[in-house]
Structure 1
Amino acid sequence: MVLAGGRSSRLGGTPKALFRTEHRADGHSSTLVGHMVVDLLELGLTSDDVVVVGPEDLPSMPVLRTREDPPFSGPAAGIVAGLDTLDRARPTPDWTLLLACDMPAVRPAVVALLNAAATAPPEHRGIVVIDDGRLQPLAGIYRTDALREAVRDQPSVNRSVRSLVGTLWDAELTLSGVTDDVDTWDDVDRFGLLPPRD
């Protein structure tokens, strides 16, 4: 699940998901959200495995799409919407990966999370990345049944991810520099991103 529905307030409302990166192998630019979707598909997920939660004007992508309700009501509401969409599209997977769309260097964390989930003991319900001492709940993988139970009958609008799924974090992966995100114009410059196309 890729969450791409934020207001990007520290970027003056310019959608983070639409900043472009030139990290693709063919040298062409891709939006941040498109770059993440390509990474997930290259890592073996299928179009029905991936849902992007965000506005309707995001670029066309060969994956499931939905929107948090109401729009701009936060990542916790996005998780609920994403789970509903995945539940309708495919058999329930054992694990659900949660990712924010604005982490250009996150692919090594995704690989590590998928590998950790494949070998996790049954009692583990959630594995999150600790990156340079910071816990990153939107770079985490959660047992789907436990995640669904955590959000069931809970308010999600304008609620923090920590308060919604924090009880599931019982394993951690310590990594460095892979979940740095794009919050400010300094971050845009640091990652060498290009502005969204008009």
Structure 2
Amino acid sequence: MPADGVRPRDRRYDAVVLAGGRARRLGGADKPGAAVGGRPLIGWVADAVAGAGRLIVVGPPRPGLPHAVVVREDPPGAGPVPALRAGLAEARAPWTVLLAADLPFLRAPHVAALLDAAGEGGAVLVDQDGREQWLAGCWPTGALRTALAAYAGGSLRGLLGPLVPVPVSLAAGERPPWYDCDTPDALVHADRLAAPYDP
């Protein structure tokens, strides 16, 4: 214990990556497997949480992630809340980092910033307009379980908002960590930005 008698907060975390959506705006394509900067989107996200005790992927198995714990929501494609419920069942650490699988510019320092900033209700990235990015945050695992047990809706905002997370705004330039790839144009733009990018 430090000399001031204050025990450092336990920063151990597991990562839950939601990778089983229907990707309607991409014509049903395998979005997590789409290449940006020469590698699948989910590969970038997995690297960002390399410090996780467990990498839990909610979706189909990924050949590039042999160490991941793979689970599916029931039924597959049911939405982010059932997917989170399935993934959280495999979490063991005091903190859970919840991420989408399509964040090509998220890096380990961004994840560390979320964990450092988190209060009792967690922390969530906000974009340049101050909007919460509910699939880019960290949460006390116990609080998440309690919230899920009492929640019957389908909205991540409805589930996570009442936890009152700390908003985290990170200077990002043209490659913001919250940038996601929901459309073909977004994928093309991300690939163009990533081409000269040395992570």
Asked if the contact 1:102–1:182 (Cα under 8 Å) also holds between the matched residues in 2, the reply is: yes
In the aligned structure 2, how far is the partner of 1:60 from the partner of 1:104? 16
Q: Which residue of 2 aligns with 1:78?
A: 83
**When the two structures are superposed, what TM-score results if normalisation uses the length of structure 1?**
0.79
1:174 aligned onto 2:169? yes
Residue deviations 1:62-105 (CA, integer Å, cap 9, x gap): 1111111110001111110001122xxxxx32211100011111
Asked if the contact 2:48–2:106 (Cα under 8 Å) also holds between the matched residues in 1, the reply is: no
Q: Which amino acid aligns with 1:5?
A: G
In the aligned structure 2, how far is the partner of 1:115 from the partner of 1:98? 15
The sequence identity of aligned pairs, in percent, is: 40
In the aligned structure 1, how far is the partner of 2:150 from the partner of 2:177? 33
Q: Which residue of 2 aligns with 1:21?
A: 36
Matches within 5 A, 1:32-181: 32-41=41-50, 44-46=51-53, 49-56=54-61, 58-61=62-65, 62-86=67-91, 92-107=92-107, 108-117=109-118, 120=119, 124-132=120-128, 133-155=130-152, 159-175=154-170, 176=172, 177-181=176-180
In the aligned structure 2, how far is the partner of 1:16 from the partner of 1:70? 19
Q: Which residue of 1 aligns with 2:197?
A: none
Residue deviations 1:123-171 (CA, integer Å, cap 9, x gap): x212111111221111111111110000015336xx1111122211231
- Across the aligned residues of Structure 1 and Structure 2, the Cα RMSD in angstroms comes to 1.9
Structure 1 outlier segments of 4+, above 3 Å:
none
Give unpaired runs (5+ residues) of structure 2: 1-15, 195-199
Give unpaired runs (5+ residues) of structure 1: 23-28, 87-91
* Structure 1 residues 103 and 112: CA distance shift in structure 2, 3 A: same
**When the two structures are superposed, what TM-score results if normalisation uses the length of structure 2?**
0.79
Asked if the contact 1:109–1:179 (Cα under 8 Å) also holds between the matched residues in 2, the reply is: no
Aligned length: 171
In the aligned structure 1, how far is the partner of 2:168 from the partner of 2:48? 20
